[in-house]
Structure 1
Amino acid sequence: MKVRATTAIDQPVSDVFPLMADNRNEPRWNSNLSDSELLTAEPIGVGSRFRAVYRGQECIAVIAEHEPDRVVTFEVDTKQIDITGKMSFSPAGSGTQLDGEFDLRPKGVMRAMLPLLAPLVRRDFPRQFTNFKAFAEQR
């Protein structure tokens, strides 16, 4: 299942990009994520690994693509679903246009459940982007 989300943020790309690229920030704006820790050495870039807790279940998120101020892609592996999340950043006046593309690949029983949950999932990604916008703008 593919999902898209977009938002305009009233902060420059150079301020917004690092907030998204560092998954340790995500529990501060994503209501589904309760913890995230960096497992690899800094600086953050391609190959950086994070252990996160998503809806009570541990998962691993790895940065697969990292072009500062342009794009960051995470590959997320959970027990029930694998997710590729690509976030693209572009200047919009003095702010940032953030566009996200998410590819959800369910496993096991979740293959049957995801079509039933699709309306909720499609609403959740834009809501989380709204939360990220508020987080980024208060910095």
Structure 2
Amino acid sequence: MDVDVTVQADIRRPRAEVAEFATDPANVPRWYRNIRSVELLDAPPVRVGSRMRFVARFLGRTIAYTYEVTELVPGERLVMSTAEGPFPMTTTYSFSDLPSGSTRMTLRNHGSPSGFGAVAAPVLSRAMERATTKDLTRLQRLLERGQ
């Protein structure tokens, strides 16, 4: 069974500012509660082909995985897929303007776990949805308070 979780938040900041902050690997541990560290494995700036090593704590376990940027449209979209890790996962950040001048950020995680992960996919999906909803709320608060 696949995991496919999409959450979004409306953030009262300009799209360029939200996208710049959210896509900077150095900021990820500030707004993702479960991410302990992110290491950019290639020279900055982030671009298609850039790899990032994440260490996270999720469902009581420490996991490490490497993402590779597969698509980047600055200020609009960032797509990363696991190059190595516990199961294949693609994460997409999308940013769009709202009529109010705010930004809607959409965060999608989708993948196909195997082994125990496949059996646990429904539980994993619910846990990911709860966690990413909290993460976007945290990002919203950070940016609306001026970081």
Is the TM value for this pair above 0.5? yes
Aligned to 1:12: 14
Contact 2:95 2:103 in 1 (8 A): yes
Counterpart residue type for residue 84 of structure 1: T
Counterpart residue type for residue 54 of structure 1: A
Count of aligned pairs between the two proteins: 139
Matches within 5 A, 1:40-79: 40-55=42-57, 56-77=62-83, 79=85
Where do 4+ consecutive residues of structure 1 move more than 3 Å? none
Give the 3 Å change call, closer, same or farther, for CA 79–14 of structure 1 in structure 2: closer
Give the TM-score normalised by structure 2.
Answer: 0.85
Counterpart residue type for residue 66 of structure 2: I
Query: Which of 80, 83, 87 is matched with 1:81 structurally?
Result: 87
Give the TM-score normalised by structure 1.
Answer: 0.89
Deviation at 1:117? 3.4
Q: Decide which moves more: 55-64 or 113-122.
A: 113-122
What is the aligned-residue identity percentage?
26
Aligned to 2:39: 37
Aligned to 2:115: 108
Contact 1:45 1:63 in 2 (8 A): yes
Alpha-carbon distance in 1 for matches of 2:33, 2:139? 10
RMSD value, Cα: 1.6
User: Which consecutive unaligned segments of at least 5 residues does structure 2 have?
Assistant: none
Alpha-carbon distance in 2 for matches of 1:25, 1:43? 14
Give the 3 Å change call, closer, same or farther, for CA 115–15 of structure 1 in structure 2: same
Deviation at 1:23? 2.1
Deviation at 1:77? 4.7
User: Which consecutive unaligned segments of at least 5 residues does structure 1 have?
Assistant: none
